[in-house]
Every structure is written in structure tokens, then in C-alpha cells.
Chains A and B, each alone.
Chain A
Amino acid sequence: DQQVKQNSPSLSVQEGRISILNCDYTNSMFDYFLWYKKYPAEGPTFLISISSIKDKNEDGRFTVFLNKSAKHLSLHIVPSQPGDSAVYFCAASANSGAGSYQLTFGKGTKLSVIP
């Protein structure tokens, strides 16, 4: 039962163009959503987040959009740069019922930005 789904395993984009990475979730208890970026042989690094009370959050070239009714979020990168080439994980947070919040990750989307 995959609660966070990233249906595109890979995405190729030309440098300078927009990259759009998508994520769907099924658990309506999720109230905080995050994107992590991962380079080979490194751990994931936090990129941007959004709470369920917002529908957009922007940080430089990165914008995350949340559509609660559709249980869908997306990450936009504009303009895309070769250094953005990495695996991007969507994650969602909910109270685990044990007094803590637990992150549930999608399978990731590998972004390749072509110079």
C-alpha cells in the first residue's frame, strides 16, 4: 500500500527549461509535504516544504504547489540547471499515533537536465 506515489521514474529536461515533478498521495491525514534531493552516494537533502494550509511555497528557482482536493503536489524548477540532475523524493508527514510524526517517502524521480 503505497501512500505516496511518484509515477514518473525519470524525467529529462533541457537546460533553462522548466522541470515539473509530480507526486500523489492517498492518506488524507498527511499535513506537511516535503521534497528531498539526492545525489549518488549521498544522503537525501531537504529542498522545500509546504504545509497543508497553503497551496504554494516558493524558494528561489523552486516552487511547490499543493492541491489538497486532488491529493496532488508538484515541484517546479525554473530555470533548470545541469546541477539539478539528481533523484527527487516526495515525502509526506502525519502523526504516527505514537506521539511522533513519521515521514513517508515516494520512490523518487530521477531528473536529468541536459546542457
Chain B
Amino acid sequence: EAGVAQSPRYKIIEKRQSVAFWCNPISGHATLYWYQQILGQGPKLLIQFQNNGVVDDSQLPKDRFSAERLKGVDSTLKIQPAKLEDSAVYLCASSSGTSGWETQYFGPGTRLLVL
């Protein structure tokens, strides 16, 4: 079974530029998550989708971050404009449900450096 795929793996941009990350979850997984992991911290949930609907985006900085999950499969996370403090690893995860008891499977992450 293929795991969660993410691209690109690394990205370096200058502040005020925009950037987009892509995630392809495990086939058949209804729930998709985007996390931000700042160096030395644990992952922090940004947004959660079930199929193509947003379940929880309470921690997403909506003035600069946006995310979509078209057709309930792939997802993109965008930052526009980027700030220095957005430097982090962006992790995508998927699970088969939303009960909280299903295992979340993580992708390898995209490491973003904002200069």
C-alpha cells in the first residue's frame, strides 16, 4: 500500500513570496490533515478535511494560509505572502475516519525555509 506522498520535499523562498505544497493521501482515506512543525516543536494541526469539506481550520492563519482538497483526494496548502516565521516542516497526514481513534499516517513532509 502506497503511503502519503508530498511534494516538493524542500523549498527555499524569500519573504513575501508565495509557495504551494501538494499532498496525495493514502487511497481511500477520507480524512486529510495539514500540520506545521517548527524546529524543536511537535506538529501543530493547521487544517482538517473530511472528503472535500473542511472539518476544522481553527488554527489556520487565514490571512496568509489557504488550503483546498478538490474532489476529496489530493490537497494543496498555500502560503501568500510568506513570513520568516513560516519556516517549518509542513506535514500531511491521512486517516480512514474522524473518530479520533483511527491512526493518522504521515507523509515525509515539505521543509520550507523563508529567507
Bound complex: CA A54 to CA B106 (Å): 26
B39-76 Cβ-contact flags toward A at 8 Å (1 or 0): 01111110010100001101000000000000000000
Contact flag A4-B42 (CB < 8 Å), given A32-B101, A43-B4: yes
Chain B residue nearest in CB terms to A89: B42
Residues of A1-16 whose CB lies within 8 A of B: 4
Contact flag A98-B100 (CB < 8 Å), given A43-B108, A103-B45: no
> Cβ of B101 and Cβ of A102 under 8 Å apart?
no
Among A43, A46, A49, A91, point to the contact of B91 (Cβ < 8 A).
Answer: A43
A76-102 Cβ-contact flags toward B at 8 Å (1 or 0): 000000000000010101111011111
Chain A residue nearest in CB terms to B109: A43
Among B4, B58, B106, point to the contact of A98 (Cβ < 8 A).
Answer: B58
> Cβ of A107 and Cβ of B99 under 8 Å apart?
no
Contact flag A100-B106 (CB < 8 Å), given A43-B93, A93-B100, A105-B43: no
A55 to chain B, nearest CB (A): 18
Chain B residue nearest in CB terms to A108: B42
A112 to chain B, nearest CB (A): 17
Residues of B1-60 whose CB lies within 8 A of A: 4, 40-45, 48, 50, 55-56, 58
Using a CB–CB distance below 8 Å, which chain A residues touch chain B? 4, 31-32, 36, 41-46, 49, 51, 89, 91, 93-96, 98-103, 105-108
Can you show 11 pairs from A to B with CB atoms below 8 A apart?
A32-B100, A43-B91, A45-B105, A46-B105, A93-B101, A99-B98, A100-B98, A100-B100, A103-B100, A106-B42, A107-B42
Using a CB–CB distance below 8 Å, which chain B residues touch chain A? 4, 40-45, 48, 50, 55-56, 58, 91, 93, 98-101, 103-109
